[in-house]
Amino acid sequence: MIIGRKEEQQILHSAVQSENSEFVAVYGRRRVGKTYLIRETFGYKFTFQHTGLAKGNTKEQLFSFAISLRDAGYDDCPIPKSWLEAFSLLSAYLKNSTDEKKIVFLDELPWMDTPRSNFISAFEHFWNGWASARKDIVLIICGSATSWIINKVINDHGGLHNRVTKQIALQPFTLKECEMFAKSKGLEMSRYQLAECYMVLGGIPYYWSLLEKGLSLAQNIDKIIFAKNGKLSNEFNQLYASLFKSPEQYIDIVTALGKKKAGMTREEIIAATDKYSNGALSKVLDELEYCGFIRKYNGFDKKSKQAIYQLIDNYTLFYFKFIQQNENNDEHFWSASIDSAVHRAWSGLAFERLCMAHTQQIKAALGIAGVLSNVYSWRKEADETSGGAQIDLLIDRKDQVINLCEMKYSLSEYAIDAEYEQKLRNKKSAFIDATNTRKAVHLTMVTTFGIKTNVHSGIVQNEVKLDDLFA
């Protein structure tokens, strides 16, 4: 059973219903469910389907392509000597198909593009010279090497320029979709536990599929991440290597961003990594953003060139904070860390990232889903006259209101004390003074179980609870 993905399925169905041939590109990070989405949507029935070979050379890729044609019904298909010949054989097979719409699914397409194979020119010729001239072809390409699909297909300036007719950037599950997935697996988890699991694994369906019934969340995390043969024990290296041809430069940047909670400007990233020009950095940042590892946002009242880049991928951040630090290879590392100060500090930051991934749900809870608004961050560096201040989530609304969001993760209702009330007042005052805004500024608390009513809680205008993020 497929969870969520209604909009993505509609795009795929519309391609089949089109009066013309369609070229669909599906991309996204490793394990996000791209292949599963396509197969489930079409009931595993394709006129032709083929998956590229990981690390296969050109000869092996061509042999495998011929095997797929034979499996599809081209019984006497010869072994092609080039990709031009391979796609010519595919064209001949499709001409003889009686399917009303001929759905061609090429999975892990980037793997087929081996050095000096002339794959791209042959692929271009297949689409431009044959398939696009017909009305009955639905070509769907897919692959985890997102940078390849973006650079070689979607943003290509050659023969594939503007040829993709539909594209799907498949995103991780939301909290609601993770809850649905957990229920489908029979996992008994409270929303608090689901949130903590999301803070570790993000919304990656494959990661969630590894959770076992009968184990506590801590036991599950130990088993799949910290155990000697844990399914995700080496995921970090595999994740970046699968997405990017030269993963080292991407890891350099996420490592730098992982050390700065508030994010970094381009200039700060260049200074921290000490090896990238502006042009080279733009490409890497764009691809990391496409894959959902980082988010780019403008500071309130800042120009786009002063944009902040922030690492938001939950698994990557968890890797830096805990997996990389598990120097003794303790297989029960997470269970032993539950009540530690490090765990408490991590959970606060991780909850903030969870909230930032659910800004639409926060807007809905505030009753402003239909109000035009922009999400920003804001920070003020300390100077001689005043201390610094930072707001990680700020919603600037067209109805003349700004929500300054504070996010707090706790086991029960969050109690605002006198010190924190003063901190909130100072932060709001610093924001108003620095920006000269004329809009109403509302302090908004996003918490797990709400705000405890006391003499200090009146400073908060709006409350959003964890349950609201499951909408």
Q: Which pLDDT tens digit goes with each residue over 450-465? A: 999 999 999 999 999 9
Amino acid letter at 5? R
Retrieve residue 274's tokens.
């000490």
Cα–Cα distance measured from residue 165 to residue 179, given in angstroms and rounded to the nearest whole number: 33
Q: For residue 12, what pLDDT is reported?
A: 98
pLDDT of 302 = 65
What local confidence, expressed as pLDDT, does residue 175 receive?
A: 98
Q: In what order do the strands lie in the sheet with 102-107?
A: 48-51, 102-107, 137-143, 22-27, 166-169
CB 114 within 8 A of CB 60: no
Matching residue, tokens 């650079």: 151
**Distances, alpha carbon 202 to alpha carbons 58, 233, 285, 330, 333, in Å:** 36, 16, 20, 23, 19
- Looking only at the bridges linking them, the beta strands covering 308-311 and 166-169 are unpaired
Q: Tell me, what's the pLDDT at 35?
A: 96
* Identity of the residue numbered 121: S
Q: Are 191 and 470 in contact (CB under 8 A)?
A: yes
Strand partners, 447: 408, 465
* Pairing, β 294-297 against β 308-311: antiparallel
Sorted by sequence, the CB contacts under 8 Å of residue 428 that are 6+ apart come out as 404, 441, 443
Confidence (pLDDT) at 126: 97
Q: How far apart are CA 180 and CA 208, in angstroms?
A: 11
CA distance 176 to 117: 44
For residue 362, which of 319, 337, 330, 393 has the smallest C-alpha distance? 393
Q: What stretches in the chain show pLDDT beneath 50? A: none
Contact 457, 443 (CB under 8 A): no
- Give me the half-sphere count of Cα atoms (radius 13 Å) on the Cβ side of residue 205: 24
Q: What is the pTM of this model?
A: 0.91
Sequence length of the chain is 471
